[in-house]
Chain A
Amino acid sequence: MSQTTPRRTVIGVGNPDRGDDAAGCWAARIVRHMLPDDVTVVEHNGDATALVARLAGMEAAFLVDACCSGAACGTLHRFDVAAAPLPANAFSLSTHGFGLMEGIELTRILGLLPACCVVFGIEGGHFQYGDALSPPVCASLDEVARRLCAEIVGQEAVRA
């Protein structure tokens, strides 16, 4: 068993009981056993303060969350948040106005943001309590998993 301290993380953000908001959680579940040992995979409720602790000290972080930008349901977005903040309006689904975007920006201002920090946004369509994932979001999960794995493997190639 590897004794390497995990320095890379995949964070699936969302509420598993709220329709397409569960997309990040499902993405995390799919890739959990597909990644190298030094990559921790967690599901996260998006609380900004706890997110800071999750991101601090990481070499690379890959986050997946549902978003709502007006694009077609199931559309996949990729944001290099190490380079620029998230678009404000697409990720404002936080319960208290203090969610993913705020967590990332707080981490950045405190100088704790990983050098590599990428957010995959999956366009959601339905966010009602008790709803299942909508079919277009389900269909996007495999693509998110494939791209996550490709990015992480690509990182390893760069390291080597």
Chain B
Amino acid sequence: MTRKTIKVDLLARVEGEGAFKVVVRDGKVERAELSIFEPPRFFEALLRGRAFSEAPDITARICGICPVAYQMSAVHAMESALGVGIAGPLRDLRRLLYCGEWIESHTLHIYMLHAPDFLGYAGAIEMARAHGDIVRRGLSLKQVGNAVMALLGGREIHPINVRVGGFYQVPHKRALEPLAERLKWARDAALETVRWTASLDFPDCERDYRFVALRHPAEYPFNEGRIVSNTGLNISAADYDDHFDETQVARSTALQARMRDGGAYLVGPLARYSLNFDRLSPVAQAAAHEAGLGPVCKNPYCSIIVRAVEVLYACDEALRIIDGYVEPEQSCVPVVPRAGIGVSATEAPRGLLYHRYRLEADGSIAEARIVPPTSQNQASIEDDLSSFIGDWLDLPEADVRHRCEQTVRNHDPCISCATHFLRLDLERT
């Protein structure tokens, strides 16, 4: 009997702090466990007693990469509790803001975190030595996303212009014109990104995921839609708790979400794309076809292409919104506090983000519950490792480590915004 332990002490291209352990007996993977050491930040407790109006700014602090997602889920949940609906230009501006976040978040992952895996570099810095033009394109593309965030959100990170009922300020139409020029460049760069990512080498492996994402009658989903799956689920966000459950596992400080039947599921670009391909704009659909993607993608390594398609879509959608933008008469609609329960799910770059709040009559928050995408994807990431690692066990340990890390990175986990530590324990007995 042999026993071997491999440790990865630092994984710099994953957002957060975690480790995983793979146990192999008699040449077969017995179990793969993703552990998260993310220090609990108690945001849900922190929200209790605070005014409903504070939720967008407090929850935005959960993540520096996808603060808009937290703001959007928060404001929609509050508005559902308070009986407020947002339509017209204000709704469009929220969508535009989300486009900015998708562009900057996805581009960061594609160019800085994920691409080095495919090209054999330790990171983006090493990749830039040989592929400077590509990295420059990625940086410029990300900056366009940041510019959208800054214009609509007031600043690039942790925007401050979003409020329950709308915005504190809305842009003049002429202020969007320079942004449109940058987005036209970005759309071309995004198309080049799709073509470039499609040219990478991908392992030939698929998994039969249970995909879960929002689906809207007419749009590729950002802020609205029913929660659907490729196995027949079709519910409103209000019914989320009837179908999904979060449990604590001893190895992790993050709750792990599963379907009520115990099954793992996947949220994020692969799920969103596979459940909403027909809602992509024609230019995004055409680019996906050209890249060799079908309407469903089950190869997690190809998520880098899917993200590029979504960046292209976000640029295209942002231009459509700007082209049709009519300045609203008011930056927000009136909101009157009342007791109630509000829920919302929106599509963060990494997938479905669920918020639920219970409000007191004065609008103070009595209960808050937040289920981020990475909680929901932990079980699927473990299943990926269990499924794929068996084929790699004859490889040198460094290669096994790298492939495991890449497998985790396929899903762009935002384990936390605090640290960057991942340890791999591979036990062979």
Q: Do chains A and B interact in one complex?
A: yes
B234–chain A nearest beta-carbon distance, Å: 36
**How far is it, in angstroms, between the C-alpha of A69 and the C-alpha of B108 when the chains are bound?**
28
Q: List 24 A-B contacts (CB under 8 A).
A: A45-B64, A47-B64, A47-B157, A49-B112, A49-B142, A50-B143, A50-B156, A53-B143, A95-B418, A95-B419, A96-B12, A96-B14, A96-B15, A97-B12, A98-B13, A102-B123, A105-B125, A106-B125, A109-B128, A109-B129, A110-B132, A110-B136, A110-B139, A111-B132
Q: A94-B420, A95-B420, A98-B112 are in contact. Are A53 and B139 (CB under 8 A)?
A: yes
Which residue of chain A has the shortest Cβ distance to B416 in the bound complex? A95
B interface list, Cβ under 8 A from A: 10-15, 41, 61, 64-65, 108, 112-113, 123-125, 128-129, 132, 135-136, 139, 142-143, 146, 156-157, 417-420
Q: Which of B11, B13, B65, B125 has the most CB of A within 10 A?
A: B125
SS class of chain A's interface: helix, strand, loop or mixed?
loop
Which residue of chain A has the shortest Cβ distance to B418 in the bound complex? A95
Could you tell me if B64 and A106 are in contact, using CB atoms closer than 8 angstroms? no
Contact of B132 among A49, A96, A109 (CB under 8 A): A109
Which residue of chain A has the shortest Cβ distance to B13 in the bound complex? A97
Task: List chain A residues, Cβ under 8 A from B10.
Answer: 97
A152–chain B nearest beta-carbon distance, Å: 26
A108–chain B nearest beta-carbon distance, Å: 9
| A81 sits at the interface (CB 8 A) | no
Which residue of chain B has the shortest Cβ distance to A112 in the bound complex? B136
Task: List chain B residues, Cβ under 8 A from A98.
Answer: 12-13, 112-113, 124
A128–chain B nearest beta-carbon distance, Å: 10
Q: Mark A108-152, 1 if CB is under 8 A from B, else 0.
A: 011100000000000000000100000000000000000000000
**How far is it, in angstroms, between the C-alpha of A129 and the C-alpha of B146 when the chains are bound?**
25
Task: List chain B residues, Cβ under 8 A from A95.
Answer: 15, 64, 417-420
Which residue of chain A has the shortest Cβ distance to B136 in the bound complex? A110
Could you tell me if B15 and A106 are in contact, using CB atoms closer than 8 angstroms? no
| A52 sits at the interface (CB 8 A) | yes
Contact of A109 among B61, B125, B156 (CB under 8 A): B125
Could you tell me if A129 and B41 are in contact, using CB atoms closer than 8 angstroms? yes
**How far is it, in angstroms, between the C-alpha of A127 and the C-alpha of B41 when the chains are bound?**
14
B115–chain A nearest beta-carbon distance, Å: 13
Which residue of chain A has the shortest Cβ distance to B124 in the bound complex? A106
Interface residues of A in 42-68 (CB under 8 A from B): 45, 47-50, 52-53
B328–chain A nearest beta-carbon distance, Å: 30
Task: List chain B residues, Cβ under 8 A from A106.
Answer: 124-125, 128, 135
A127–chain B nearest beta-carbon distance, Å: 10
A89–chain B nearest beta-carbon distance, Å: 11
**How far is it, in angstroms, between the C-alpha of A139 and the C-alpha of B158 when the chains are bound?**
29
Task: List chain A residues, Cβ under 8 A from B129.
Answer: 109
Task: List chain B residues, Cβ under 8 A from A48.
Answer: 112
Task: List chain A residues, Cβ under 8 A from B15.
Answer: 95-96
Task: List chain B residues, Cβ under 8 A from A52.
Answer: 139
Could you tell me if B135 and A110 are in contact, using CB atoms closer than 8 angstroms? yes
Task: List chain A residues, Cβ under 8 A from B14.
Answer: 96
Which residue of chain B has the shortest Cβ distance to A109 in the bound complex? B128
B68–chain A nearest beta-carbon distance, Å: 15
Which residue of chain A has the shortest Cβ distance to B414 in the bound complex? A96
Task: List chain A residues, Cβ under 8 A from B128.
Answer: 106, 109-110
Could you tell me if A49 and B108 are in contact, using CB atoms closer than 8 angstroms? yes
B60–chain A nearest beta-carbon distance, Å: 12
Q: Mark A23-54, 1 if CB is under 8 A from B, else 0.
A: 00000000000000000000001011110110
Contact of A96 among B61, B135, B136, B420 (CB under 8 A): B420
A21–chain B nearest beta-carbon distance, Å: 12
Task: List chain B residues, Cβ under 8 A from A45.
Answer: 64, 157
Which residue of chain B has the shortest Cβ distance to A101 in the bound complex? B125
Which residue of chain A has the shortest Cβ distance to B140 in the bound complex? A53
